[in-house]
Amino acid sequence: MSSSEHATDRTRQGEDAVFVVGGGAVGRAVADRLAADGETVTRVDRSPTTDPPPGQTVRTVDALDAHSLRGAGLDDATTVLALEPDDATNLLVAQLARTTFGVERVLVRTNDPDRASAFELGGVETVDAAAALARAVADRW
């Protein structure tokens, strides 16, 4: 059975197929946590991984190339998390996920809270990275 058939079968059973795009250490940490919680996770990064973490498929592709993303399995994703440190890249990934692949849930990391409205116009959920870090620090204070 091919990996895309396997992901599609799980999706039919009601399980999410989560696609994590980039994010360096943030993307890895999110993917690790989701996989540990039993989610089906594919992580896309520019840097090759020789030993993928358990429960994850890792693909080294250009996050802005629709053909490469299709080959990595984005067309089977039910959720895309765009976690690159660059808001413009996350906006383009979100647009590709929505318009080209018809992904039902897209969540993006925003680094500039003033840009959140640009994402939300497209029906994309946002996480304000600065506010999330501020909350985490304040909660420990």
What value does the mean pLDDT take over residues 105-121? 88
Average pLDDT over the chain, rounded to an integer:
85
Domain definitions of the chain by residue range: 3-108
3-108 fold:
Rossmann fold (3.40.50)
The pairing of strands 125-128 and 40-45 is unpaired
For the cut 80, the answer to whether the pLDDT of residue 2 exceeds it is no
pLDDT bin (cut points 50, 70, 90) of residue 27 is very high
Tell me the C-alpha distance between 135 and 129, whole Å.
10
Q: Please, which pLDDT band fits residue 81 given cuts at 50, 70 and 90?
A: very high
Its pTM stands at: 0.84
Task: For residue 118, name the pLDDT band (cuts at 50, 70, 90).
Answer: confident
Taking the CA atoms of 77, 28, 129 and 140 in sequence, report the sign of the dihedral they define.
Answer: positive
C-beta atoms surrounding 6 within 10 Å = 15
Contact 41, 31 (CB under 8 A): yes
Taking 80 as the threshold, does the pLDDT of residue 25 lie above it?
yes
Name the percent of the chain lying above pLDDT 70.
89
